[in-house]
Amino acid sequence: MSIIKACIFDLDGVIVDTAVYHYKAWKRLANELGFDFTEHDNEKLKGVSRTRSLELILKWGGVTKTAAEQHELATRKNQWYVDMINHMTPDEILPGAKEFLEACRNAGIKTALGSASKNSMMILDKTGLTHLFDVVIDGNKVSKAKPDPEVFLKGADALGVDPAECVVYEDAIAGVEAAIKGGMKVVGIGSPEVLGEANLVLNGLNEMSLEKLNNL
C-alpha cells in the first residue's frame, strides 16, 4: 500500500511544451535589442521566472536597462507570449499527461499544479485540463522561485497532505532540488544525466503508471 496521497506537476516541460513559445518571444525581444538568442540559451531558462529570465538574457546580450525599462521589456515579451498561448489546443498536451492525471484522480490521488508561470491558468484552460487539478499554485502565488520549495509546499498544504506523501514531476534541475528540499519524492522528466538526483527519471508521463508511483 502506497503512502503517496498527492501528485504535484510542473507545467512547462511536463504537461505541455510552452518552452517553444517562450523561446520565440524572448528571441524577438533580443533581436529588437540588437543581439541574438539561441535555443541553447533558452534551455537555461526552463523553470526560471520571467523577471530572472530577462535579467539573464540582458546579461548574455551585454545590455544594461533600468528597472522601469526591464518592466516594460518583460511586459512586451509576455504580450507576444500570451498571443501565442492563446491559440493553444488540447492537441499540445504532452503524451500521457492527461491519461496519468485521470488515472491519479480515479485512484483517489490528489493533484496539484506547481509552476513558476503566471500564465498557467490560461494554459490549463486552452488545453482543457483545468478540471483535472484540485489545486493550482503558480507564479502568482509564490514569492520564492525554485529551488526554494515554496511552490510545492504550498501545493501540499492546499491539498491537506504531508510533503512526504507527495510526488513532484519536474523537468528542471531547480525544480527537482525544490522537491527534495521540500521533503517530497520526485520524478524527473528528461535526461538522467541532468536530473539524476530524482527518485526516478522518465522521458515523459507516458512512461509513468500507478504501479511505478507505488514503488517509488
Q: Which residues bind ligand B16 (CB under 6 A)?
A: 10-13, 22, 45-50, 53, 78, 115-119, 139, 172
Under 8 Å between Cβ of 136 and 31: no
- Distance between CA atoms of residues 122 and 132, nearest Å: 14
Q: Which is nearer to ligand B16, 53 or 208 (CB)?
A: 53
Q: How far is the CB of 32 from ligand B16 (least distance, A)?
A: 18
3-state secondary structure at position 208: coil
Q: Which is nearer to ligand B16, 19 or 210 (CB)?
A: 19
Residue whose entry in the numeric block shows the C-alpha cell 525581444:
29
If you ran DSSP here, which 8-state letter would residue 94 be given? P
- Distance between CA atoms of residues 86 and 35, nearest Å: 27
Among 6, 8, 9, 12, binds Mg ion (CB under 5 A): 12
Q: Which is nearer to Mg ion, 19 or 210 (CB)?
A: 19
Q: How far is the CB of 106 from Mg ion (least distance, A)?
A: 25
Q: How many helices (H) and strands (E) does the chain have?
A: 10, 6
Q: Which is nearer to Mg ion, 63 or 121 (CB)?
A: 121
Q: Which does 117 bind (CB under 5 to 8 A by kind): Mg ion, ligand B16, none?
A: ligand B16
| H or E, element range at 187 | strand 185-189
Residue 12: active-site member: yes
31-50 residues in contact with Mg ion (CB under 5 A) are 47
Of all residues in the chain, what percent are helix, strand and coil, respectively (each to 5)? Answer: 50, 15, 35
Q: Give which of 177, 178, 172, 174 is closest to 155, Cα–Cα.
A: 178
Which residue lies nearest Mg ion, judged by its C-beta?
A: 13
Rounded to whole angstroms, the maximal C-alpha distance in the chain is 58
Catalytic choice (10, 134, 138, 162): 10
Q: How far is the CB of 88 from ligand B16 (least distance, A)?
A: 12
Residue 41: active-site member: no
- Point out the residues that are catalytic: 10, 12
Which residues contact Mg ion (rule: CB under 5 A)?
10, 12-13, 47, 171-172
